[in-house]
Amino acid sequence: MSRPEQSSGTGGDEPLAVEVAPDETFGEVVVRGVVPAERVGPAFDHTVRVDLDGALSPDSTYAYRFVYDGVRSPVGRCRTLPAPGSTPESVRLAVVSCQDYENGYYGAYGHVAREDVDFLLHLGDLIYESAARLFTGLGSERYPDRDVTLPSGEDRAWSLADFRYLHRLYRSDRFFQRALERHTLIAGWDDHGVANNRYWDYEADAPATPGHPRGDDPEFMRELTRAGIRAWYEYLPARIRYDPDAERIHDSFRLYRSLRFGTLADLALTDQRLFRNEPGGRYVAGVNLGLRRDTDPTRTMLGDDQLAWFTEEITDSTATWFVWSNAVLSLPLRLGAGPLSIYPKQDSWDGYAAERARIFETFAETRDSGVVTLTGDMHSTVAGYQRTAYPELGDAGDATRVGVEFMTPAMTSVNVAEAVGVDGGVLGRLTRPLVSGGVRAMNAHIRVFDSHHWGYSVVEFTPGACTFTTYAVDKTVDAAGSKRRLFGASVPADGYEIRPV
């Protein structure tokens, strides 16, 4: 568990006590410990990490709290994984992504906090590195109270102080706090935790990004990436390898990992930013466009070591469900037809199509059912089929289904409708079926597409089916407000068929 201790002073003068109990009365405390004073100070931005490995029972819910200098924190709730070899009746996850603080309110988290789920899965872009509304839509000026002013005074994160400020600012939202206090977080990341559209320049052996004023400065980008990683590690609870003193960044931080939910589901989280090389295509207004899916076999999203690990995870999994926590769209996305087509998401798996094909072939070779991919990034609701080939897009070979992909909408970040100014009112109602129908007509493997709403999703895995439900929540008001069921589907455990529910 991890919790930021927001001290106005220098901190570290007093130790921090932690208590864990089966319920919020704390009548029976199962863990009572102390974090030394030297670990509760500005060196870690007043955050603490308490690892309770071996101290709690599996498949159980606990209450926890901190006490500092006689003051108790609010009570949080955490949950443990099922025991290996157990057979849970179900696993339910709330799924969220892309929560640009400047571009809306977090009322959806008020609903997430009340959901009866086992864990909260964040697919990436928990913070955005931007200030001055660099990544917002035409209507973003409607949120003057969500302005961001970085300590550096720059328009993008420039330092560790900037990243820490952003994590504190985002966590200051009361709805986000409620969700984090209520549910155990499983966190991945995408690009905005450091810089937009970032990749690894293997020739310079440094990160690079076309979206940062100093994105082509190797030394600056190394330090910026180290700062983003440190702030992520300080503020997000994850049992991962982190060594800030490692000479190479790749050796300092291993985000990719897997979680086992008994024999019911294996969840693999991949890191799709730290190891990827430069995508093809050309950036136009921040979007990486290509005339075709890039099939260059040297392009890699995962890097050799992670790809080998991921392949082994797929091959060795014997659970009913293999679940991939995937940062960017794995399905091909085409706009147009025939020679007039473009592929507008080269920053996603369309820019790394050869490696994607190898992953999909591994799905085909090792499983005949039970592969579900959960995705964020594109600020849209999407459901579709992963296949070994897409003949309608020019592929040769048999179009065998090897999995299904569900994308959750953004919490607040700009979607297609907002970007072109048609996200509300009559224009929104008119354009939604046109955009949705157009995308599906150009991409037969995509069964659902919506880029007019924001919100969150809930996915449930049982021995018989996976059910995915998306809820739309108004981001324009600073209140939980009402939610509306936007989309629901189930997939049977013995095949690949997206069935509306």
Which CATH number describes the domain made up of 81-500?
Answer: 3.60.21.70
Positions of E strands within 60-161: 61-68, 71-72, 76-79, 91-96, 119-122
**Structure-block tokens of residue 405:** 């992909």
Give the model's pLDDT for residue 358: 97
Average pLDDT over residues 101-129: 97
DSSP assignment of 144-197 = GGG----TT-SSB--SHHHHHHHHHHHHT-HHHHHHHHHSEEEE---STTT-TT
**Structure-block tokens of residue 12:** 């570290």
Lowest average pLDDT, out of 20-24, 28-32, 229-233, 415-419, goes to 415-419
Give the model's pLDDT for residue 7: 39
C-alpha closest to that of 466 among 434, 441, 495, 487: 495
Distances in Å between the alpha carbon of 340 and those of 334, 392, 442?
Answer: 10, 14, 12
Give the model's pLDDT for residue 12: 57
Give the model's pLDDT for residue 60: 98
Give the model's pLDDT for residue 132: 75
**Structure-block tokens of residue 105:** 């309110």
Give the model's pLDDT for residue 334: 95
Percent of the chain with pLDDT over 70: 95
Q: Who's near 27: CB < 8 A, 6+ residues apart?
A: 21
SS3 285: coil
**Structure-block tokens of residue 185:** 């977080």
Give the model's pLDDT for residue 222: 98
**Structure-block tokens of residue 233:** 């590690």
Which CATH number describes the domain made up of 1-80?
Answer: 2.60.40.380
State yes or no: pLDDT of 55 exceeds 50. Answer: yes
Average pLDDT over residues 149-167: 97
Q: How far is Cα 278 from Cα 421, in angstroms, rounded to an integer?
A: 31
- Structure confidence at residue 1 as a pLDDT band (50, 70, 90): low
State yes or no: pLDDT of 10 exceeds 70. Answer: no
Lowest average pLDDT, out of 22-36, 133-147, 349-363, goes to 133-147
Distances in Å between the alpha carbon of 51 and those of 1, 21, 243, 430, 500?
Answer: 7, 15, 17, 51, 41
Kindly list the domain boundaries of the chain, sorted by start residue. Answer: 1-80, 81-500
Give the model's pLDDT for residue 141: 61
DSSP assignment of 304-326 = HHHHHHHHHHHHH--SSEEEEEE
Q: Who's near 444: CB < 8 A, 6+ residues apart?
A: 392
Distances in Å between the alpha carbon of 227 and those of 158, 193, 271?
Answer: 9, 10, 17
Measure the CA angle with vertex 294, ends 413 and 324; round to 5°: 55
Average pLDDT over residues 232-255: 96
Average pLDDT over residues 304-310: 98
Taking only the tens place, the pLDDT of each residue in 431-466 is: 888 999 999 999 999 999 999 999 999 999 999 999
State yes or no: pLDDT of 261 exceeds 80. Answer: yes
Give the model's pLDDT for residue 144: 87
Instruction: Indicate the average pLDDT of the chain.
Output: 93
Percent of the chain with pLDDT over 90: 83
Give the model's pLDDT for residue 126: 98
Give the model's pLDDT for residue 135: 55
